[in-house]
Structure formats: structure tokens, C-alpha cells
A and B are shown apart, each in its own frame.
Chain A
Amino acid sequence: MALAQDELAMLRETTRSWIEDNAPVARFRALRNAGQTSDAVARTGLQELGWGEALTGEALGGQDLGMSAAVVLAEECGRQLVAVPLAQGLVGAALALNLAGERADPAAVLALDSVVPTRLAKADQAGGLTLSGSLQFVPGIDAASRVLVPAGSGGEVRLVSIPASSLAASPRRLVDSLAYATLDFAAADLTGTTVLPRAITPEAFAWLLDCVLVAAAAEMLGAAQRAFEITVDYLKVREQFGKRIGSFQALQHRASHMLCQLETLRAVIEAAALAADERSPDLSRLAAMAKALAGETSRLVMAESLQFHGGIGMTEEHDIGLYFKRGRVTEFLLGDGLWHRRRYADLCGL
């Protein structure tokens, strides 16, 4: 069921105020300082706020609000750097389970390779299940009790559900203070592992992957938009040479360039979400655009935001550094700009 613009605006308002009350960026900082890499409270809370239902298909009793709503959730989480697996968790795992005929599960994460998102594990079910292949820098494994591994066997894709405790996950840490893992399936203990019975067609899996990319881009937009707002607020109050620095044309023009990038990215993400909901053949091209442009926008906005803050932005105590580090990492997750431009060029027939 697609929502009208005013309904989406209400959904955004509710989600924003819940996150600001329960999972603001200060909480991300506090968790990080306590050595934690995921926010279980936010994850459960967002599910209970209705997002589990929202992204569950109607056939399974959910509301099936689709990607037009999912990008709102992603953007709002991005604004406060909420430490939940978003693209591959709240959104991606929910949509994957729908395709496999199951309801959304807040404890599930869809395992996708961060460098080449189309890379799949291989499953062999002849004479008992064996898995092979490996995935790099998979986010959110630490927060999951159940990891959904898309495995190719011929054209169709099946979801292999592995208890997180059984996985051979080598932990990695990146500068954004979140947890990533290298998964080596040949070494996985398959105790408790099930293969979800309903196969996903190649077309449906391509759609799922595009949706995950669009959600990731929306989360990046949220983070960049918030960093921009924090920076604009600073430009309006910080004084040097007896003037507010936001009155200097050199800085105004750079701020306007940031605005141009943010506004076009938002239009791309909205168009991509709509294309996902309409099952449009344009989706793959728009998803590649969304992810590549989100990377460029994020790079520009985060770097300018840090620069505009001057020395204070370099300090550990200021939030802008958290946005800066998250932004640079997300550029590379689920395929970097080069990868997505190549895909876009292929899809445009260049």
C-alpha cells in the first residue's frame, strides 16, 4: 500500500521524534565509548514503532508500505547515526524475508559483500548442505542473532539462515566505530542452519539488491543532510573579524554547492524508491545512480562540514567528526562510486 505525501510526512515526523528522544547521536557516542557497536534498544524500538509491520508484505499480514516509506526510515536513522544495521537489516532483511515468504525479523541481517554486492555464496544441497564462498566487510553481524546468506544455485537464489553464533565471522573494525565481519562459509558450522523453502527468482533478487542500495543511499543522505544543518547553524553564530562567518561569500557559495548536491540526491532517491515500488525497469539504473551520487554528496558535504568548523571540528568531542568518519566508510559499502558508475554505464548501453 503506497502512502500519500502527507502520510509519508507524518511517518517521518513520528520516526524523527522517536529517534531524537531515544537514539540521538549522543547515544551513538555513549555506546561507542562503552565499547558497543550496536544499539539493541533502537533496533527493537523502531520495530515496535511499527517499522516491522510497515515493511512486511500484505500477504503476511503487514502493511507493505514499500521503499517510499523505507527511505524515510533510512534517512531518519542516518541523521542521528543510529547504530542499527539499516540497509541490510531493518530494510534489507525484512524485504528478503518477504520474498522468501516470512515475516520481518528484527534480529536478522542480510549478508552482502561490501565491495562487490552482487557476489553470492554457493550452496550445494546434494547430500546435505554445504556452503562455499566468502564475503568482506559485512556490517551488522554483531547485532544479529540470525544471518541470511543469499546463495546462488543456478539462476534462483535461496536464503540460507545461519545462527550468528555458528558463523565463522572474523571481526573487522573501521573508523566509523561500527563492527564489520569477514564471513568464510566453507569454515561455517552449519548446525541450526536452514534453507528457506521458497526460492527467490533472479529478477526478484535483483530488485531486492537494488532496494538495499537505495536504502543505503537514503541513510547516507540523512547523515549528510544533518551534517549540513549542524554546519549551517555554526556558520550563523560563529564570529570572526567582527562578523558572522556565514556572511562571507566564499563560504556561502560552498554551502550553496552542498545544498545543490543534497537536493538532487533527494530527488534521485525519491525517484528510485518509487521505481522500486512500481517494479519499474528503471530501478537498477536509478539505484546505481543513488548509491554513486550519495557517495559523492557525502564526500563533499562531510569534508566541507569539517573544514567549516575549523579546529573545533577536529576535536573528539565534536559530533561533526563522527559524521565525517561514517560518511567516508559508507561511500565504499555495497560497491563504491567506480563500481556503480560502471554498472550505470552498462545499463545506459555506453
Chain B
Amino acid sequence: MDAVTAADPLAGFRQATREWLEANCPASMRTPMVAEEMPWGGRKAEFPNPDSRLWLDRMAARGWTAPRIPAQYGGGGLDAAHAAVLQEELGRINARLPIYSFGLWMLAPVLLEYGTEDQKQRFLPDIVRGGIRWCQGYSEPNAGSDLASLRTRAVRDGDAFVVTGSKIWTSYSDKSDWIFCLVRTDPDAPKHAGISFLLFDLETPGVVRRPIDLISGESPFCETFFDEVRVPAGNLVGPLNGGWDIAKRLLQYERQNVAGAGFGAGSRRALGTILRERAALSDPVVRDRVAHELMHAEALSLFTAKNEARVAAGQADALVSVVKVLAAKANQARSDVLIDAVGLEALVDRSDPGPGGDPAGHAELIREAQGWLRSRANSIEGGTSEINLNILARAVIGLPSA
């Protein structure tokens, strides 16, 4: 499908896009992403590779970091067909994502659906540009799978809400600028009916953030504490006490976007390469298992793309839990088959000096070992696999509740 043909009604756009990308996507942005160079944007944005900033700024200037968001909010304003062409052309040159952003993946779609005109104009352009980094204030120490039992309070005081309580597993809250946060605004209502959806700046007095050390040795998650944090009342999204529907919708977007995780084409190729280099694929049992996992991962990416088209057409719904459940399974299975095939050399600690002689491959296996530990969170974060299986059973299959 590489050829630009006259029969393609989007041919002009495709040609112009291809030429623009050719001229504007730096060469180093056409290589597989490495974790250290992921651009997350925000006030404290870091660009270890200066090309990342160039690429982000150029894409953001066209709104192409958010192709489907209307142009008046800074997005690309493209329809589904044009956005698909852009994706194909980006894929053709293996272009990196210009920005990694919870704001873009989770908050922007619900702002478009539930935000006021003023809120869209205030928040969306910064999300598209990567100017503000957002984090998600959902889970609490006593509200995990039973999220709706959350207890962080927001009490109205004049023109502000005063927020007190704590959140946990807030990914990158220590590196973020703002939070979209679920708060209890009516403690007497049934648990789903007393929740509101609030946005606020993490630099506001009363906010404390503390990273949590994980089994992988990394600390992507934080505890985030709020002690009488004053939030302007205009930062309430949707109706007071009507936050639960927004919370659920945001989770649907979040679950769709886990697709960026480990089972993409690049990650599938890397698994094959690592095992081939170690001659592990000459064992027919290993080869069969690898083929099995790759096949499931590829099948999932096809389903994810299909569901993405439904989401883009405004049909986000509970079926997205299929992506969430299977992505966790695919990532974990990928790590397991790699470790099974390679053995102890794939369970190396970061402090391991290595066997000598193969430093590049050794670093790769350290990353894989950490990836394996990281992957165990995939079936817990963003709604556990068990919760997502509940959702599929009730909301999609229609099985009765107990």
C-alpha cells in the first residue's frame, strides 16, 4: 500500500504529509523509542535527545500530536480518514510518538465530551503542546478495585473546593504539573452518586508527593497527599456529584491506550531478535511457544486497532476491557517466554557486572528483567484484570449481578 495512487481520494493529503514528514522528522526520531528518551512534556520537561524537542514542537505546531482534536483547541482537526493517512505515513517512516501524555490519552477525550467551552480552551491547547504534564488521582489506600468507595473529600468554601485526603499509585505525580482527581463531594449519597471530577495544580499549597519503590527497583508510582488544598470551583468538570460517569469513561480511554505498551510490532520483533541471537529458536518447543505468544500479541493489536476506530467514532464503551485484559496477558506472556528460553541470564539484576564479552546484549537483558517485573503491574493498574473481567461479564455479555 506504499504507492500513492490517483484512485486514492486522500492522495493529495498523503503526498503533502509524506513530504512534510520527510523534511521535518529528524533521523533519530525514526528509530525505536528508548525509555530514557521518552518525551513526557510538562513544566519540567526533559529532552535528553534535543531532536525530541524539535519533533514535539514541529508536530504540535500542526496539531498533529492530537490529530483528531478540533483545530480551535490546538489539535489537528482531522477527520478519521485523514488521521488514518497521517498514522500510516508516520508508521511508514517508523516515526516515534512526539509526546507521551496522560493528558492526551485520558483527559483530553473526556474534556471534549464533558468540559465547558471555557475548560476546553484553558486546558486542551497545553495538552496538545505538551506544556502541562497531567497525572491521574484515582486509587486510594482503601479504594483500589472498589474505586467508588474513595474518601478524599472536597468541601465547598466560597469560590473554591477544599480538598483533603490521599491518593496512591498516582503514576509520575512527582514529575507532573496538574492532576485530574476523583473527590467525594457528598459523603451522604450512595457511593457512586457523591463523586466529582476535579482538576488542580500540584504546586498548590497542601500537596505532598512521595515516590513508592517497586519490585523492579523503579518508582513510577507515588503516594500523593492533600491537606486542605484550595481548588477554584471553576475546575470542576461535569456536574457536582456527577463524576463517576466521567471517571468510567476516562478509564475506557485509558484502557484503549494501553496499546502503546509491550506487545506492539517493535516489541514483537525484539523478542524474536533476542532469542535468535541466543540460538534459542532452534528448539522446536521454544519456537512454537514464541510463535504462539507473537500470534496472540499480533491478534490483540488487530483488535485494538479495530476498537480504536470505534472509539474515534464516538463509540467508546466497555468492550475496551478486552484490550486491557489481553494486553496484560500478552506483556506478561512475552516476558515469561523470553525468560524461559534464556534462563538465568534473563533474570539479571541491574548491579550484575555481566558474563564479560557481550556488554550490549547484557544491558538488553537487564532491561528485559525489569520489563518482566514491570509487566506484573499490567494486570493490576488501570483496573485489575479481575475487575475488567467483571465489566465484560456484566456490561458486554449481560450476565446478571449477584
Contacts and interface: CB of A to CB of B under 8 A. Distances in A.
Interface in B253-297: 268, 272, 275-276, 281, 287-288, 290-292, 294-296
Nearest to B396: A259
A249 interface: yes
Given A247-B399, A260-B392, A263-B319, A348 B272 contact: yes
B322 interface: yes
A118 interface: no
B351 interface: no
A243 B402 CA distance: 8
A256, A268, A341, A350: residue with the most chain B Cβ atoms closer than 10 Å = A256
Contacts of B292: 341
Contacts of A265: 299
Main secondary structure of the interface of B (DSSP, over half): helix
B393 interface: yes
Interface stretch (B116-124, B156-164, B244-252, B300-308): B300-308
A259 B397 contact: yes
Contacts of B394: 252
A249 B385 CA distance: 13
Interface in B298-353: 298-300, 302-303, 305-306, 319, 321-322, 325-326
Main secondary structure of the interface of A (DSSP, over half): helix
A211 B165 CA distance: 59
B398 interface: yes
B23 interface: no
A345 B295 CA distance: 9
A120 to B, nearest CB: 25
Contacts of B291: 341-342, 344-345, 348, 350
Contact of B299 (A236, A256, A259, A268): A268
A66 to B, nearest CB: 17
Interface string B361-402: 000000000000000000000000010111011101111111
Interface residues of A, number: 38
B402 A255 contact: no
Interface of B: 1, 268, 272, 275-276, 281, 287-288, 290-292, 294-296, 298-300, 302-303, 305-306, 319, 321-322, 325-326, 386, 388-390, 392-394, 396-402
14 contacts: A232-B398, A249-B402, A252-B390, A253-B389, A255-B399, A259-B397, A264-B322, A265-B299, A270-B302, A280-B1, A293-B295, A293-B296, A293-B299, A341-B292
Interface of A: 232, 235-236, 243-244, 246-249, 251-253, 255-257, 259-260, 263-268, 270-271, 278, 280, 289, 292-293, 338, 341-342, 344-345, 348-350
The 6 closest A-B pairs by CB, nearest first: A252-B393, A256-B392, A267-B303, A345-B291, A341-B291, A256-B389
Given A289-B295, A345-B287, 16 more contacts: A232-B398, A244-B400, A247-B401, A247-B402, A252-B397, A255-B393, A255-B399, A256-B397, A259-B322, A259-B397, A263-B322, A264-B296, A264-B326, A268-B299, A344-B294, A350-B275
